[in-house]
Amino acid sequence: MYIPTYVLYALVLIGILIFFRQFFVAWRFDHQHNISFRLFKRKRKPTLETFDEKINLRKRMIVDRAHQLGKITNDVVEAMFHVSHTTAWRYLEDLEKEGKLKQAGTVGRGVIYEPIPGAF
């Protein structure tokens, strides 16, 4: 079956026009509703409002896990959040300074953190 070339060109042109019409309809809608326009929109996971909220949530989770286990170590925190050794240590040190955990041991693998009753 032979289709004339001008028909193929017309179909391609119609497809392009439909694409641009949809593109500009979306663009106009976004601007009318004060939404930032993105050409390719992705579904995003719901995020926390601020970085501080994320840190506070993680700290609460650490204290909860410490209460469940009776103690917590740096390795456990690393595994919980997939963070580096230093980041996990910072979380634990902050919680110790806030009075929510108590350090037992001095250095190395012997360091564990015990929950203080009534924290969080």
Strand 101-104 vs strand 112-115: parallel, antiparallel, or unpaired?
Answer: antiparallel
| In a shared domain, residues 39 and 70 | no
Domain that holds residue 4: 1-44
Question: pTM of the prediction?
Answer: 0.58
| In a shared domain, residues 13 and 34 | yes
- The span from the first CA to the last CA of the chain, in angstroms, equals 76
- Looking at the DSSP bridge assignments, the partners of residue 103 are 113
The more confident residue out of 28 and 84 is 84
**Which is nearest to 118 in space by CA: 105, 98, 104, 100?**
100
- Residues 29-63: pLDDT tens digits? 776 666 655 655 566 666 657 888 889 999 999 99
- Give domain status of residue 120, yes or no: no
The total number of structural domains in the chain stands at 2
Q: Look at residue 119 in the predicted model and tell me its pLDDT.
A: 61
- Residues 1-18: pLDDT tens digits? 788 899 999 999 999 999
| In a shared domain, residues 37 and 56 | no
- Domain with residue 60: its CATH number is 1.10.10.10
| In a shared domain, residues 40 and 55 | no
| In a shared domain, residues 70 and 106 | yes
| In a shared domain, residues 55 and 19 | no
Across 101-118, b (16+ Cβ under 10 Å) vs e yields: beeeeeeeeeebbebbee
